[in-house]
Structure 1
Amino acid sequence: MRFTLIQISESIFLDEYIYNLDIQNNYLPSPYKATPFLIIKDFLKANELPLFVNSVYKDDEAEIAKVKTELISGVVNPKVVKEYRDTNIYSLDEHLDSLYKSRFIEYQPIIEDYFNLAITISTEVQALEYKKGGFYIQHSDDANALLDKENNIVGYTTVAPERKLTTVLFATSYSETLKDKFTFNGGELIFNFLKDYDGNTITLKPKAGDMIVFPSNPYFSHEVKEVKEGYRLTLVQWHNAI
């Protein structure tokens, strides 16, 4: 299987057929990095995490998450498609939003150095809630896949060009055995086209407090597997950069 893979970092490979597609935003980080994504350990501290979880857990002002769809006119039309994702979106309380953003400013130079990019503007923070049964199918954060009659991916059309980097902060932890509302099982984060040396698809079982940063383009298409039990909460932003 290795002959179908392209090495894009010291330990991560990319499916060759995706690498060879004509992708508008085809940015890849330095191949000399250990991985093409960055994991920041303990972005939020153990005593801070319950503040975020409890705030969202008791909030009943959820918005059902939408997916990006592109009309013939080229206008992007977000809409609810339950077959694609089952996720609720919340806005952070002002003091929690301020805490998150101040912490992000501390880590921004590290992120910019890792990806050799300068962040110019960021979206508001979204708290994404996945309860039992919640999921999000394979998708790219900046583009929609183009499929042939056999549902094979033949290209991508960019629908959110302002998204260059994605940050996902995990507020609850994957656990084989549920302990409380701060844990879940199922809900793994899968990078569909990224492989390890043996050809295994990169699958992350998140730990609360950690943040992952990755380019928003189709090379980093990903999905959230169905949550079997528990409560999966992430804080997500998208960032434009030069």
Structure 2
Amino acid sequence: MKLDQISNYVFCDKRLNEFDLEVKLLPNPYYDYPFLIIKDFLSPTICDELIRSVKKEDDYIDAKIKKENYQNYTDKSIRKTKIYKLDDEYKYIYKKRFLEVQKQIEDYFSLALTISTKVQVLEYSKGSFYKAHSDDSNMIYKDEELIGFKNVAINRKLTTVLFATSCEDNEAFNTFSGGELVFNFLFNEKGEVIKYKPKAGEMIVFLSNPYFTHEVLEVKSGYRLSLVQWHDAIIS
């Protein structure tokens, strides 16, 4: 596989630069990484309280797959996870904290955030997963070969994912095994695909375009809880 360097320590599949992508935005190539990790977005105590709050609720829907014009459908062979609503108490905590880090995010990606979606609370229990996808585009295949992307969510410029649980090989209350976040077209200096194992309270921020196509590997055990939001933006 041929790779192109996009930051100090990260390379992308060369095909991405050859595709006629509708959105080709990338961060500053002199950064160490093309994504931003905010390690202390929420405290461990707040994360544990949030987990307990969600576990009390039975009001959820099965997560869907996006199509053009925001027409969505359910396909559990591609995505198996549940969506919960965020309680007002935690909406306030999340929004207050997000406003504190918003400038850091905007400076990192050289953009100005405008409209954001509602926060989705995503629960991945044992056996849950989400196969490779781009947050703003559908992947186009011909004869089982990827030939490009079709933008179907033009208002998604930036993705934020906050983790309330940690990826660890133990059976603590707030941990899970498996369930890593994999960036399918991004690789490290050794040519290994970028695989992110989050800690509770961390937020990862990345652009929503095809360069950051990603998947959630199947959860082997434990409880994976994340808060996901998509943001429109004015690009500097």
Alignment TM-score, normalising by the size of structure 1:
0.95
- 1:77 matched to 2:71? The reply is yes
Aligned-residue offset at 1:206: 1.0
Give the % identical residues.
53
Could you tell me how far apart the structure 2 residues matched to 1:195 and 1:113 are?
24
Aligned to 2:96: 102
Tell me whether 1:235 sits opposite 2:218 in the alignment. no
Q: Which amino acid aligns with 2:120?
A: Q
Q: Paired residue for 1:133?
A: 127
Q: Which residue of 1 aligns with 2:45?
A: 47
Distance 2:100 2:145 in 1: 42
Distance 1:69 1:159 in 2: 7
2:31 aligned to which of 6, 30, 33: 33
1:66-99 Cα shifts (integer Å, max 9, x gaps): 00123xxxx3420111110101001101111011
- CA distance in structure 1 between the aligned counterparts of 2:67 and 2:191, rounded to whole angstroms: 31
Give the CA deviation at 1:142.
0.3
**In structure 2, what is the equivalent of residue 124 of structure 1?**
118
Give the Cα separation in 2 of the matches to 1:68 and 1:123. Answer: 15
Residue of 174, 183, 189 corresponding to 1:191: 183
Could you list the per-position Cα deviations for residues 211-230 of structure 1 after superposition, in whole angstroms to 9, with x for gaps in the alignment?
A: 00000001100000000001
Distance 2:46 2:172 in 1: 18
User: Is 2:167 the counterpart of 1:160?
Assistant: no
Match of 1:223 in 2: 215
Aligned to 2:6: 8
Runs of 4+ aligned structure 1 residues displaced above 3 Å come to: none
How much does 1:240 deviate?
Answer: 0.3
Q: Unaligned stretches of 5+ in structure 2?
A: none
Separation of aligned partners in 1, 2:181 and 2:30: 24
**Match of residue 178, structure 1, among 171, 174, 177:** 171
Matched position secondary structure for 2:4? strand
Higher strand share: 2
Distance 1:132 1:42 in 2: 26
Secondary structure (helix, strand or coil) at the match of 1:26 reads: coil
Task: Name the counterpart of 1:213.
Answer: 205
Shift of residue 126, structure 1, vs aligned partner: 0.6
- What corresponds to 1:61 in structure 2? 59
Q: RMSD between aligned alpha carbons?
A: 0.8
Query: Residue 147 in 1 paired to residue 158 in 2?
Result: no
SS of the aligned residue for 2:26 comes to: coil
Report the number of matched residues.
234
